[in-house]
């Protein structure tokens, strides 16, 4: 072997086994499917083992490698979260002292939220201190400093990067300890089984958020995969690839990203269409990921929960949030909304949290003149509550709903944009709660009424995405201004022709989404019933078409950033 061959071999080995920030291991890369094929090959040796920990241990090791290839040395954070979650869960189950149990669950929740806050909100905390006290503090990565001093690494100490999927696996660990405390699930038998539960690679970095009560029992069940389930798994994987690459990436690269990066250079109509295009993109991107995750997991015998149910068919905001990111919505409901009082009444935690969020908003705005104005408004608000029982009941019935949506916004990121996005959705939910009591059309199912409700809900949700997608408030303001002041009907034909393939792709995506569930079920059932040889041919054709549609480098999934 000559020196050039040795260099090529070493380079290939580095590409396979070492983390590359510019090429993370994601479902849409061919490297992932090669990785998955090898995983399945090894899985054939362990999947029937009577000792279920052997199977769990194998999948934990490959999941750890997957996470390393996706997020580098942040897998140590994942391991630490696993260790804390396992020990606290075990302690809660074994203890007979209620105070000890409460202390342990507090440790688990506090640790996971602390890790999440450190990596996700450090910049916000530092910026807030600088605004409040006029200081010039800078972020310091204490973990990088410790690693550099201890083991001689060379990590950047003035930058804190966000580990991929940290919001998902921390929530998953919290749900485990809470479920054990509530006696809704039996703890895992050992730390390997727990590590597998937290790190299972199909859903590790972007969900769906898996509850311990629904997944842990699967660890100890026999492997099973029927012929129809195999066909459905392949169907879900193909559907996910079509959504993400063929539809989502195409409209993002060729239109949506361009407009959002510089909205002032585009007309009001183009800005509006980019906003609707992003609504489609974020859906096909995120639901495409979970479709693939569900299919990949099922091939290994594990059932993940549904995460989307045609959300743009929703007839109101409340129904939308029952159809969109269902694992997060139900998590927030069961572990936040109900524990703080649900729709019964507000608690000290509710009002204190709202006060903190209000303070965060003022800090992010950065205008201290608003502080006394806000203080007066808050005082008037509480006076109304004090002397108007009806007003107080209305607030108590809805404060926790509003708080849950605001915290849901903050879960996505500590910026004014995400808080506004969460707040708007909260306002939409509250308004609908009142409107449905007086609406003469609430229980009418006439097709024209249905279309109107769906269109109105979809338009409102799309408008809130203006703040979700924009990288800054300035971008959001500029885009809104362009839509409202620079909307010229005469240029619409020219724009439609200029971006004809983008708009045809958007039309295709929306038509498929709004197809009758019965039609979709027929297509799904037909594919499942086809013989294996025909499945292979159909899969090959779809894969060729999908990957031929790529017009730029692979686009990371949107929810990787959360």
Q: Are 105 and 178 in contact (CB under 8 A)?
A: yes
Structure tokens at 264: 């002032």
pLDDT band at 10 (very low <50, low <70, confident <90, very high): low
Higher pLDDT, 538 or 73: 538
Would you say residue 5 has pLDDT above 60? no
> Residue 183 CB: number of other CB atoms within 10 A?
9
The single residue of 142, 154, 412, 513 carrying the catalytic annotation is 412
Q: 117-141 b/e with 16+ CB inside 10 Å = b?
A: ebbbbbebebbbeebeeeeeeeeeb
Q: Model confidence over 11-58: pLDDT tens digits? A: 655 667 676 766 777 888 888 899 999 999 999 998 888 888 999 999
Burial (0-12, 13-18, 19+ Cβ within 10 Å), 209: buried
pLDDT band at 163 (very low <50, low <70, confident <90, very high): confident
Would you say residue 366 has pLDDT above 70? no
CA distance 276 to 270: 10
DSSP 87-124: HHHHHHHH---HHHHHHHHHHHHHHHHHHHHHHHHHHH
For helices 389-412 and 416-438, the axis angle rounded to 10 degrees is 140
pLDDT band at 243 (very low <50, low <70, confident <90, very high): very high
Burial (0-12, 13-18, 19+ Cβ within 10 Å), 73: middle
Q: Are 220 and 256 in contact (CB under 8 A)?
A: no
Would you say residue 286 has pLDDT above 60? yes
Higher pLDDT, 150 or 451: 451
Lowest mean pLDDT segment, chosen from 215-219, 235-239, 267-271, 443-447: 443-447
Would you say residue 125 has pLDDT above 70? yes
Q: What's the pLDDT score for residue 359?
A: 75
CA distance 232 to 222: 20
Q: What's the pLDDT score for residue 421?
A: 92
Lowest mean pLDDT segment, chosen from 73-77, 140-144, 257-261, 430-434: 140-144
Q: What's the pLDDT score for residue 165?
A: 81
Q: In this prediction, what percent of the chain has a pLDDT beyond 70? A: 90
- DSSP conformation class of 553: S
Q: What's the pLDDT score for residue 551?
A: 65
Higher pLDDT, 129 or 181: 181
Higher pLDDT, 395 or 223: 223
What does pTM read for this prediction?
0.89
Would you say residue 7 has pLDDT above 80? no
Q: What's the pLDDT score for residue 169?
A: 87
Q: Model confidence over 463-505: pLDDT tens digits? A: 999 999 988 889 999 999 999 888 888 899 999 999 999 999 9
> Is the C-alpha dihedral spanning 400, 558, 64, 203 positive or negative?
positive
Q: What's the pLDDT score for residue 560?
A: 65
Structure tokens at 363: 């800090």
CA distance 290 to 298: 12
Higher pLDDT, 134 or 100: 100
Q: What's the pLDDT score for residue 260?
A: 93
Would you say residue 157 has pLDDT above 70? no
Higher pLDDT, 342 or 318: 318
Lowest mean pLDDT segment, chosen from 278-287, 334-343, 531-540: 334-343
Structure tokens at 525: 């059932």
Q: What's the pLDDT score for residue 442?
A: 75
Q: Model confidence over 539-560: pLDDT tens digits? A: 999 999 988 887 666 667 766 6
Higher pLDDT, 353 or 554: 353
Nearest to 208 by CA among 289, 111, 281: 289
> Which sequence spans correspond to the domains of the chain?
19-136+162-218, 224-308+474-562, 314-438
CA distance 139 to 133: 16
Q: Model confidence over 382-402: pLDDT tens digits? A: 787 777 777 777 777 788 888
Cα 236 → chain centroid? 19
Specify the residue for token string 């609406």: 439
Q: Are 25 and 164 in contact (CB under 8 A)?
A: no
Higher pLDDT, 166 or 360: 166
Lowest mean pLDDT segment, chosen from 31-45, 131-145, 167-181: 131-145
Q: What's the pLDDT score for residue 526?
A: 95
Q: What's the pLDDT score for residue 415?
A: 81
Would you say residue 6 has pLDDT above 70? no
pLDDT band at 282 (very low <50, low <70, confident <90, very high): very high
Lowest mean pLDDT segment, chosen from 178-192, 339-353, 521-535: 339-353
Would you say residue 9 has pLDDT above 70? no
Q: What's the pLDDT score for residue 59?
A: 95
Active site residue 412: yes
Burial (0-12, 13-18, 19+ Cβ within 10 Å), 69: buried
- Average model confidence (pLDDT) for the chain? 85
CA distance 328 to 405: 11
Q: What's the pLDDT score for residue 375?
A: 77
CA distance 533 to 38: 22
Specify the residue for token string 């500590």: 414
> Residue 369 CB: number of other CB atoms within 10 A?
8
Q: Model confidence over 413-432: pLDDT tens digits? A: 878 888 889 989 998 998 88
Burial (0-12, 13-18, 19+ Cβ within 10 Å), 198: buried
Q: Across residues 73-92, what is the average pLDDT?
A: 89
Q: C-alpha distances in angstroms, 393 versus 345, 381, 399, 406?
A: 8, 13, 10, 20
CA distance 367 to 147: 39
Structure tokens at 187: 């703890």
CA distance 175 to 286: 22
């Amino acid at each position: 072997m000559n020196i050039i061959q040795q260099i090529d071999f070493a380079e290939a080995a580095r590409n396979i086994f070492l983390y590359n920030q510019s090429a993370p291991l994601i479902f849409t890369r061919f490297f992932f499917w090669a990785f998955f094929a090898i995983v399945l090959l090894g899985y054939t040796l362990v999947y029937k083992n009577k000792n279920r920990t052997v199977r769990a241990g194998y999948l934990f090791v490959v999941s750890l490698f997957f996470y390393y290839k996706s997020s580098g040395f942040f897998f140590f954070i994942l391991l630490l979260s696993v260790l804390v979650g396992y020990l606290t869960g075990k302690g809660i189950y074994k203890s007979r002292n209620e105070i000890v149990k409460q202390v342990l669950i507090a440790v688990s929740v506090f640790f996971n939220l602390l890790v999440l806050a450190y990596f996700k909100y450090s910049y916000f905390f530092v910026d807030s201190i600088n605004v409040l006290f006029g200081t010039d503090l800078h972020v310091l990565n204490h973990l990088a400093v410790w690693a550099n001093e201890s083991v001689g690494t060379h990590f950047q100490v003035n930058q804190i990067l966000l580990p991929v999927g940290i919001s998902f696996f921390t929530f998953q660990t919290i749900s485990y300890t809470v479920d054990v405390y509530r006696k809704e699930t039996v703890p895992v038998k050992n730390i390997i089984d727990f590590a597998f539960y937290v790190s299972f690679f199909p859903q590790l970095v972007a969900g769906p958020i898996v509850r311990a009560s629904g997944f842990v029992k699967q660890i100890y069940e026999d492997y099973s995969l029927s012929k129809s389930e195999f066909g459905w798994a392949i169907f879900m994987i193909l559907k996910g690839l079509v959504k993400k690459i063929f539809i989502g990436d195409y409209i993002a690269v060729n239109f949506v990203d361009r407009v959002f990066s510089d909205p002032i250079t585009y007309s009001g109509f183009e800005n509006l269409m980019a906003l609707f295009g992003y609504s489609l993109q974020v859906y096909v991107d995120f639901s495409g990921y979970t479709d693939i995750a569900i299919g990949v997991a099922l091939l290994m015998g594990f059932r993940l929960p549904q995460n989307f149910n045609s959300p743009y068919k929703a007839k109101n905001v409340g129904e939308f949030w029952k159809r969109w990111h269902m694992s997060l919505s139900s998590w927030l409901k069961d572990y936040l909304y109900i524990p703080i009082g649900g729709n019964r009444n507000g608690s000290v935690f509710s009002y204190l949290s709202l006060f903190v969020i209000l303070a965060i908003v003022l800090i992010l705005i950065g205008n201290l003149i608003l502080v006394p104005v806000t203080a007066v408004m808050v005082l008037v608000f509480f006076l109304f509550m004090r002397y108007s029982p009806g007003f107080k009941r209305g607030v108590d019935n809805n404060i926790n709903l509003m708080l849950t949506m605001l915290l849901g916004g903050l879960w996505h990121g500590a910026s004014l944009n995400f808080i506004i996005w969460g707040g708007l959705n909260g306002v939409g939910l509250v308004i609908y709660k009142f409107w449905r009591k007086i609406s003469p059309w609430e229980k009418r199912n006439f097709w024209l009424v249905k279309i109107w409700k769906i269109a109105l809900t979809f338009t409102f949700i799309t408008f809130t995405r203006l703040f979700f997608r924009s990288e800054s408030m300035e971008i959001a303001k500029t885009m809104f201004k362009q839509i409202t002041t620079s909307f010229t009907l005469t240029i619409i034909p020219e724009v439609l022709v200029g971006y004809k393939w983008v708009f045809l792709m958007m039309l295709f995506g929306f038509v498929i989404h709004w197809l009758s569930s019965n039609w979709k079920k027929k297509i799904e059932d037909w594919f499942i019933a086809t013989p294996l040889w025909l499945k292979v041919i159909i899969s090959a054709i779809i894969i060729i078409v999908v990957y031929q549609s790529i017009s730029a480098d692979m686009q990371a999934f949107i929810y990787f950033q959360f």
